Structure 1
Amino acid sequence: MPDLIDLLWRDDSAAGPARRGPRRRTTPGEVISSAIALADDGGLPAVTVRALAQRLGLTPMAVYTYVNSREDLLVLMADLAYMRMPAPVSGGDASPWRDRVRCLAHDNRDLLCAQPWLLEVHDPRVVLGPGTIAKYDRELAVFDGLGLDDVQRDAALSFVLDFAMAGALRRLEAQSAEGLDWDAVATPLAGHLGDRHPLAQQVGATAGAEFDGAYDPDAAWRFGLERVLDGLAPILEQGGPSR
């Protein structure tokens, strides 16, 4: 069976040496793309060897001739998803650094909201893939020309990506609660609260009226992202901190 590194760095377009036996009906790239389609439709629980085999017109055992295990498959899926991301605006662009970092954060949050199954792939081997490494390289370039050393540049990128991940989680949580009837629970909840927690009641009522709901993930995202940029400003505009 092929090693995971070989699968990650495969070239699906290469013909390669002639193989004995029947011609393969698909490629590793097609298997991985089909698995991503299953995850996009039904989340990671939908990605089973049986479902993948049915989608590809293969037997379940034949799937294992393309990928060694479901764990390896998840790594390959995540790497391909990162490879397909649009390139962010780099430091070579004339746009201000705030605009570049803002776009970087938005692109990552959008990806995780569009493919939330990525939030469940925690395998550290994902960093070994060409798509993940290329993504890392492109995103590091967003901080070009700002006076950061290598460790500071890595930390600044991680700071932004961690915020994007948290923002995606909150948006997904809010989406899952969209069907709740908040008005139906407001009256009985008020009866239980009475005069307790007056600050929570006051602020919650004001914010709820403003957002027309219990929580607005986009408003929280906009507020938080500007604070992230404000936090980076003293570092990026002064050529990096001393460590």
Structure 2
Amino acid sequence: MTKSGPADGTTTGSGDIARSLELLWGTGERPSRGPKPGLTLDRIVATAVGVADAEGLDALSMRRLSTELGTGTMTLYRYVPGKAELLDLMLDRVQGEPLTRDASEVPGDWRVAVDAMARTYRATLRAHPWLLKINQARTALGPSALRGLELALTGLRGMGLTDPELISVIITVNSFVEGLARTETHAAEAAGETGLSDAAFWESQRPYLARAMLSGGYPRMAALSEDAFGSDFDHFTFGLGRIVDGLEALVRRRAAE
């Protein structure tokens, strides 16, 4: 068996990188000693994603996975060396879910492409919230990851920016999406753990905040309208729009140079 990741199992690229790449690209040898009929690498990864979707990464282990698949834990190790490599496969699998377009179908307008990139990634994070728990600083790049990057770069081709800047555009958009998604996920987790809704949580603080506002020590806060922190405001669309505005200014400046 190979070296596993940290205790929480949330780091990709921490296992046997050569084995992960072999599995991702289909170049590794298949199990030769009595594999269980019907057990495939694809089924293993799909089942692992299902467990993580339903119960989170903490619930996922090789033992739990073997139980779900109705096989022995040692049988799984014939397919996947350990949880660290399994995470690499899971990550590439979910990254591939939205990649149904051909490169020729990518929007020609980079603004539309940025909007689609952000909304698609947001949908992926909502479908698989465990992705936010994974440290992807050293991700093993599989077919889906490269395909996603290829389509993203194709959509941004009309911006007229340098190659490092185009990569930075993708990083900026993804970081914005992850930030809001993480806040959204944390709020849901807090409500589930405490049994207290967001509305009830903030309402419990109202008397204290009202006294603070009357103290005169927070004039800017006191001047805010009642709906300043309202849940109806679409922070995602607003923030994404401002990112596009900023990129638009850069693109125009480059075009004039």
TM over 0.5: same fold?
yes
Query: Aligned match of 1:226 in 237, 241, 254?
Result: 241
TM-score for the superposition, normalised by structure 1? 0.82
Q: Provide the residue aligned with 2:70 in structure 1.
A: 57
Moved more, 38-47 or 123-132: 123-132
| Structure number with higher relative contact order (C-alpha < 8 Å, ≥ 6 residues apart) | 2
**4+ runs of 1 displaced by more than 4 Å?**
87-95, 238-242
> CA contact under 8 A between 2:31 and 2:79: conserved in structure 1?
no
Q: Which of 24, 33, 43 pairs up with 2:36?
A: 24
Note the 1:1-243 alignment, pairs <5 A. Answer: 3-10=19-26, 19=32, 21-25=33-37, 26-87=39-100, 96-176=109-189, 179-180=197-198, 181=200, 182-191=202-211, 194-195=214-215, 196-203=217-224, 205-208=226-229, 211=230, 215=231, 219-239=234-254
8 Å Cα contact 2:19/2:85 also seen in 1? no
Q: RMSD over aligned Cα, in angstroms?
A: 3.0
What is the distance in 2 between the residues matched to 1:18 and 1:72?
A: 16
In 1, Cα distance between equivalents of 2:225 and 2:125: 28
TM-score by length of 2: 0.78
Q: What secondary structure does 2:158 align onto? A: coil
Shift of 1:148: 2.3
1:20-43 CA-to-partner distances (Å, cap 9, x unmatched) read x42433111111111000010011
Contact 1:109 1:164 in 2 (8 A): yes
Matches of 1:152 and 1:240, distance apart in 2: 15
Give, in whole Å, the separation in 1 of the partners of 2:102 and 2:224. Answer: 38
Report the Cα offset of residue 85 of structure 1: 1.9
For residues 92 and 49 of structure 1, the distance between their equivalents in structure 2, rounded to whole angstroms, comes to 40
Contact 1:34 1:52 in 2 (8 A): yes
In structure 2, runs of 5+ residues without a counterpart are 2-17, 192-196
Question: What residue identity is the alignment partner of 1:229?
Answer: V
**Unaligned regions of 5+ residues in structure 1, if any?**
none
What amino acid does structure 1 have at the position aligned with 2:247? L
8 Å contact kept, 1:88–1:103: no
Between stretches 53-62 and 119-128, larger displacement belongs to: 119-128
How far apart are residue 68 of structure 1 and its match? 0.8
- Give the residue type in structure 1 aligned to 2:86: L
> Could you tell me which amino acid in structure 2 is paired with residue 115 of structure 1?
H
1:184 shift after superposition: 3.3
